[in-house]
Structure 1
């Protein structure tokens, strides 16, 4: 059997979808699985032995220049690649217009997508041949993806212990090991304070308070601060300086290099942001802070992860701006995060 997964973006959503690979290979040994992904996110999937072929697309460029000859040539090339594969089943777990276009380009007559209530964009249902409703218990986004993919198979995904990984290169592993080797022998704790929405941030003061508390609690610990852009770098530098000795700002890494580094730290702390999801995917414990988004829906799961939801009556509002933003940030205390880290590190020591 040859199947196609359409999950093109964004980084965190692709990571949440990784367990579908393990599921498909469990229920159909010998299955061939291909995946369509936006080119900027290819590193999440490259090198994964559960994927036979990656199809790279650049839909942002297509939208910017919809009438250009380059766009039409690119679309034609993708169409040719997909139709040559003659997929038995296509799974559209993206659920919007752009993924619907990929469904059509595939030429498949057997396309599973979400039902209307679960779609990002309702027009998607015009491109799928079977619409799958999610179940009330499918709160987490990974369970929603698995619900759709499991529909053609006679095996409940809830009965399986599914895993995921982001496969790194030997040179990435060597570089990561060289970076952590000089650190003290105590816990290696990574902070990532940056994120996308301002309603997902924590306060700089709380990061500083947490860092000092961790170094006091684990006096041989190392705190590493990662960043994704110039603004985050400036903030991380200021936080590290305020924490003092024991806090180090990292260089910026490509995704696979960063994943290799995350495999070598003891715990990652951050908001609803890519580095936290990458850490969970590669098996590193996390403590994650959720405010505007819902930790039950997208937070890392399992005993090795602690999800802290802001204790506000309006939490998980999914607003990108809010007049009560500062109050919401302050509602998550450094003590609560410290308790989560202690829980994880104490279990690791045992």
Structure 2
């Protein structure tokens, strides 16, 4: 017999450690839970980097797990929460590490993904599962947890915290002239090829500068690969058209840059979803992942979608013949995206949002 769902939960736990884009997609679920039960406590067990992005999120108590600490870090969290019993634990991470971590948490009810979406045997660690859904976007998969608990008001709301110091950081880098943010690299993962070409980005930057009067601000982490790509892009661009801030910002600073930007361009990586969460027009570049599942939710119509071509070219199948969420793990797949495709989408996005103002403060004292 399945455990009953709580009618009025007093303390809700969310277990989602990573990644940056995913935690952005999860925030509307948190807001829906808060609207339904405004007096309920919400504790979110989250990764270290992801916490630095969402720190200060209203109404949420964060418990931070540094994945580098392994089992010792899990034991620390178990001790910290040893006297806490949650009414419901929303297990939203399909990974064996997160499932092991969940074992040391006390909860009356554990909710996870339905079997089709429960990777790494996650359904073994939960008592109830969300309803099956065909072809869901990641954001919708998260919202299904709130719907299972009885939430009907599932309108999308983020309200991400961006401190004044972050806007000051953004202004020091970008000034007050209009710009777009380009985050050219995704986080490197084994056989997870998501980066577009240096020449392609440089051509788009020159187009934005020449035809729209928009500079481009490059963002990204401080890894050698990201810095190398940023330098290569900058070397091909017109003088004055690009500001290379790769490795030179905090995550909150990137949020502020995106909040003030005219648009964001990125492959399947966190800043695309940060732009979506902030309401900034966002152009996603997709070939190795399906944009119907993973593109910036509010801007899916403006995603460059080379995924069907990649599936046909490298898997010899149609999109309908592969599993939902299937990745194309080929180093050349992103080269299927044409420069003209990206420029056309950027022109359409800028035209569609021509009256949209920047939302972040320009002069915080």
TM-score category by the smaller chain? 0.7 to 0.9
Q: C-alpha displacement at 1:154, in angstroms? A: 4.8
Q: C-alpha displacement at 1:256, in angstroms? A: 1.0
Identify if the C-alpha distance between structure 1 residues 236 and 243 changes in structure 2 by more than 3 Å, giving closer, same or farther: same
Identify if the C-alpha distance between structure 1 residues 75 and 348 changes in structure 2 by more than 3 Å, giving closer, same or farther: closer
Q: Residue 292 in 1 paired to residue 288 in 2?
A: yes
Number of equivalent positions: 327
Structure 2 match to 1:234: 228
Q: Are the aligned partners of 1:4 and 1:89 in contact in 2 as well (CA < 8 Å)?
A: yes
Q: Residue 194 in 1 paired to residue 185 in 2?
A: yes
C-alpha offsets along residues 272-301 of structure 1, whole Å, 9 cap, x if unaligned? Answer: 112222222222111110011111111112
SS of the counterpart of 1:9? coil
Q: Are the aligned partners of 1:271 and 1:288 in contact in 2 as well (CA < 8 Å)?
A: yes
> TM-score, structure 1 length as denominator?
0.86
1:39 to 31, 35, 48: 48
Q: C-alpha displacement at 1:47, in angstroms? A: 0.2
Structure 2 residue runs of 5 or longer lacking an equivalent are: 1-9, 313-324, 356-365
Matched ranges for 1:106-125 at <5 A: 106-122=105-121, 124-125=122-123
Matched ranges for 1:1-350 at <5 A: 1-51=10-60, 53-62=61-70, 66=71, 71=72, 74-122=73-121, 124-136=122-134, 139-155=136-152, 160-181=154-175, 183=177, 187-195=178-186, 196=188, 199-218=193-212, 220-228=213-221, 229-245=223-239, 246-250=241-245, 252-302=248-298, 306-310=302-306, 311-312=308-309, 314=311, 317-322=326-331, 325=332, 328-350=333-355
Q: Are the aligned partners of 1:287 and 1:305 in contact in 2 as well (CA < 8 Å)?
A: no
CA distance in 1, matches of 2:159, 2:83: 29
> TM-score, structure 2 length as denominator?
0.82
CA distance in 1, matches of 2:336, 2:101: 43
Structure 1 residue runs of 5 or longer lacking an equivalent are: none
CA distance in 2, matches of 1:287, 1:243: 20
Q: Are the aligned partners of 1:118 and 1:133 in contact in 2 as well (CA < 8 Å)?
A: no
